[in-house]
Amino acid sequence: MPFLLIGIGVDDMFVICNAVDQTDLKLSAKERIREAMSHAGPSITITSLTNILAFLFGGLNSLTALRSFCLFAASSIFMLYGCVMTVFLAVCVWDTERVARKKGECCGLFMCKQYSVFCCKGFWLSPKMIAYGSLKEEGTAPVSTGGKLDKSLEASKTEKFLEKYVAPNLLSMPGRIITLVVYAVLIGLAIFGCT
């Protein structure tokens, strides 16, 4: 049950954070959260409601242990939904307000500057974060605009990695064959385990 709740909760958090990241940084924190939740809210609500209903129907079972588990899972998912929509969203609002003030993470401590060794010298910052924050410090190289395209619209490092390495290898003929073989082996092991 804890693993199920962690999976659902983390998924909801990712959906909210991604929706906030997709909003325009020039909007106020309140407007960014409103716009993000107009996109993320329905999907979180539908998935949570679907999970709750699935477990409630499982609670109609005559087996006492299974019924107890399903009813406990349904109530836990309901409480998790409430926590994500209140507590986590409040923390998200605070962070969005911090970004709007252009204040760095870790309360602006000396060790958490963009080009600090503690922050990987800004390696994980997206071009959008760098461009918006104007975090260029003295003695550092200026951020280039990357030609005609606005650098803040470029893909993140994760997206570039998936596009450059994962997708071509997975979609190649050997990648497809390996995927099908792994899938067949897993299905075979599952059938063997069930029998």
Q: Quick check: 85 and 37 in contact, CB under 8 A?
A: no
Q: Report the pLDDT value the prediction gives residue 107, as an integer from 0 to 100.
A: 57
Mean pLDDT of 162-181: 91
More confident residue, 134 or 58: 58
Q: Report the pLDDT value the prediction gives residue 115, as an integer from 0 to 100.
A: 63
Mean pLDDT of 151-163: 71
Q: Report the pLDDT value the prediction gives residue 26, as an integer from 0 to 100.
A: 84
Q: What is the pTM of this model?
A: 0.62
103: left (phi over 0), alpha (psi -120 to 50) or beta: beta
pLDDT at 44 over 60: yes
Dihedral sign, CA of 125, 97, 132, 23? positive
Comparing CA positions, the residue from 52, 44, 156 lying closest to residue 92 is 44
Task: Identify the residue whose tokens are 């009813």.
Answer: 71
Q: What are phi and psi of 134, to 5 degrees?
A: 45, 50
pLDDT at 23 over 70: yes
Amino acid at 118: F
Q: Helix, strand, coil proportions of the chain in percent (round to 5)?
A: 75, 0, 25
> What does the domain layout of the chain look like in residue ranges?
1-101, 105-154, 158-195
Which of 45-54, 75-84, 138-147 shows the lowest per-residue confidence on average (mean pLDDT)? 138-147
pLDDT in tens, 81-138: 999 999 999 999 988 888 887 776 665 555 556 666 666 666 666 666 666 654 444 3
Arithmetic mean of pLDDT over the chain:
82
More confident residue, 185 or 157: 185
For 139-171, letters b (16+ CB in 10 Å) and e give: eeeebeeeeeeeebeeeeeeeeeeeeeeeeeee
Q: Report the pLDDT value the prediction gives residue 24, as an integer from 0 to 100.
A: 85
Which of 104-108, 141-145, 154-158 shows the lowest per-residue confidence on average (mean pLDDT)? 141-145
Which of 138-142, 154-158, 180-184 is most confident?
180-184
Token output for 98: 């911090």
For 134, which DSSP code?
A: T
- What are the distances in angstroms from CA 192 to CA 48, 179, 180, 188, 189? 33, 20, 18, 6, 5
Token output for 107: 């309360």
